[in-house]
Amino acid sequence: MRYTGIDYHKRYSVACTVDTEGGRVQSARINQNEPAAFAVRLDPSPL
């Protein structure tokens, strides 16, 4: 299982995904909070 946290700001957001052991799987800065960028970032397909 993976968990994703999002730190949402006015101009950008930062998302980080960790595994069940707390290891960072992926992180990204999403500029201008574009919905399409969130859709790509939060795609549930395996990495």
Per-residue pLDDT for 39 more than 70?
Answer: yes
User: What is the pTM (predicted TM-score) of this model?
Assistant: 0.73
Q: What is the pLDDT of residues 5-31, one digit of tens each?
A: 999 999 999 999 999 999 999 898 999
Rounded CA-CA distance 33/21 in Å is 28
